[in-house]
Amino acid sequence: ALYPKFTNYLMSVFSPTFLPYVLLFFAEAFFLYTYYYGWGKFHPMVHLGLGLGLNLVGTAIMLIANAWLTFMMSPKGISDTGAVISVMDAVYNFTWMPINVHRVIANVAFGGSIAAAYAAFKFLQAETDEERAHYDWMGYIGNFVAISAFLPLPFAGYWLAKEIYAYSQALGLTMMGGAFSWLFIIQAVLIGNLFLAANYYLWLGMGRVEGAQQFQKVIKYLLIVIVLCFMVWATPRSIIATVTEVRAMRGSSHPVLGFLGVMSAKNTAVNILILTTFMSFLLYRRTGKVATVTWAKKGHAAQLTIFAAVALFVIFLGVYGYFVEAAVRIGLSVPQVLSVLFAMVSITAIDVFLFRAARRTGEVRWGRIPAISQYVLIFIAVTFTWLMGLMGYVRSGLRQHWHVYGVIRDHSPDAFTPTLGFATQVVSVTVLVFFVLIGVVFWITSLHDRPDFEDRQRLPHGPGDVSPEFAGGNSTAT
């Protein structure tokens, strides 16, 4: 090991977790191979159980690994000298559960986006309407899974950031106000692009459903809201400026736009952004349907009232945050999050019953979608991957010159935090390598549909290229 002292220390703390960790990999291999090679061979419920077991085992592997990495950032269960007091406390440290929730949600979104990207790749290669219809449907399902998980992901991120602040204000200030503050501007740009792309795909998808014209006129207003929220979220508190510009502004913050750089504005913007994306999905879901229940008007009115009330409440809390002290302002993000979650759950519940026996005004024409929509799905997958790599750099880089924060210091010559520019280059190369490997996987899966080599050799290759077997003769000259 390059860091023997650090490795030996982690092994002494987490030694009881290593055997289950290894055994879980064998269990995962069993579920994976049985799932793949047993496709169509078992009862559907057995196959469903295998898939569930595969996901549970994979999640358990991730939870154990999360204990190791979060202990490095927020150690617990040890004495002042670093001696182990409680392995359970070391596992269940300050940031273990928040990062578990954050990574589970992120991996669901990531997996959905990769599945959608694969479907997009196959859609662009498809030669028949049936193939395009199938891969259009697959891309929609993958994107639906990705966006459904993506919507609550910022809430999990805020919880993780809150726990980091609670554990160490020094870590929190380094993350949001120090060396990593500009990284979160990049994060805002990436997430803003994800929201734009997700909404754009939904809007394009409306074209595959007959009778979408009544909802398409609303798109421009949703786009305006999304762009405004994107601009607020990506506005930095302090800007890079010359000495002359700083003097003219009387500080590092812009006299007007600087007010949009604080968390009161950003929390408000991201919550409105989530609500708007949720509204886009509702409109897509309603395309080609008319509610027939007797209480349809009341149901629509209730949904609109909830949406408007929550949006106004979120904006009110955002404005109110400018007039209270920091401790109160930080706490305002909790009711904002809870109110948005309430709106999403309650409106969805009403919508399910509202359109349970809906009358269809048009059918879904799978495959009838512009080709650019498939490039949007690929863009979403690449952006998700790049964002995950970037945030991994933040999590690891927060420790700076510590292997285990406050316990084991890194005294090696490489004990420094890479610059943001260097980190983005490393992440970009890693993402490129990852998608090359994904491309290899796609290619391997495509081999299943190709005929065997000997069969290809016997097939005719041209007008006069017919083997004797196919011509009805034999291969022996007479």
Sequence ranges of the domains in the chain: 1-93
How far is Cα 360 from Cα 294, in angstroms, rounded to an integer? Answer: 17
Helix (H/G/I), strand (E/B), else coil: 408: strand
Nearest by Cα to 289 from 340, 397, 364: 364
- Kind of pairing between the strands at 289-290 and 359-360: antiparallel
pTM value > 0.75: yes
Model pLDDT, residue 69: 92
Residue 384's contacts (CB-CB under 8 Å, 6 or more residues apart) are: 109, 110, 113, 146, 194
What values do phi and psi take at 93, rounded to 5?
A: -80, -175
Dump the DSSP string for 60-117.
HHHHHHHHHHHHHHS--SB-TTS-BS-HHHHHT-TTHHHHHHHHHHHHHHHHHHHHHH
Tell me the pLDDT tens digit for each residue of 176-230: 776 787 788 888 888 888 888 988 898 888 888 877 677 777 888 888 898 898 8
Rg of the chain on CA atoms, in Å = 27
How far is Cα 209 from Cα 168, in angstroms, rounded to an integer? Answer: 52
- Cβ proximity of 334 and 370 under 8 Å: no
Nearest by Cα to 330 from 410, 264, 231, 409: 264
Model pLDDT, residue 264: 83
Tell me the pLDDT tens digit for each residue of 337-347: 889 999 999 99
How far is Cα 194 from Cα 178, in angstroms, rounded to an integer? Answer: 26
Model pLDDT, residue 283: 84
Helix (H/G/I), strand (E/B), else coil: 209: strand
How far is Cα 287 from Cα 275, in angstroms, rounded to an integer? Answer: 19
Taking every pair of Cα atoms in the chain, the longest distance, rounded to a whole number of angstroms, is 101
Output the tens digit of pLDDT for each of the chain's 478 residues.
567 888 889 898 999 999 999 999 999 999 999 998 888 888 889 999 999 999 999 999 999 999 999 999 999 988 888 888 899 999 999 999 999 999 999 999 999 999 999 999 999 988 898 999 999 999 999 999 998 898 888 888 888 888 888 888 888 888 877 678 778 888 888 888 888 898 889 888 888 887 767 777 788 888 889 889 888 888 877 767 777 777 777 776 777 777 777 778 888 998 999 999 888 888 888 877 888 888 888 988 999 999 999 999 999 999 988 888 766 777 788 888 889 999 999 999 998 888 887 787 778 888 888 999 999 999 999 999 999 999 888 888 888 888 888 888 888 877 778 888 888 999 999 999 999 998 898 888 777 767 766 666 666 655 544 444 444 444 444 3
What values do phi and psi take at 360, rounded to 5?
A: -85, 130
User: Tokens 């996987």 — which residue?
Assistant: 441
- Cβ proximity of 276 and 327 under 8 Å: no
Residue 394's contacts (CB-CB under 8 Å, 6 or more residues apart) are: 175, 180, 183
- 304, two tokens: 């609109």
Tell me the pLDDT tens digit for each residue of 400-418: 888 888 888 888 877 778 8
How far is Cα 386 from Cα 392, in angstroms, rounded to an integer? Answer: 10
Model pLDDT, residue 475: 43
- 127, two tokens: 């030669």
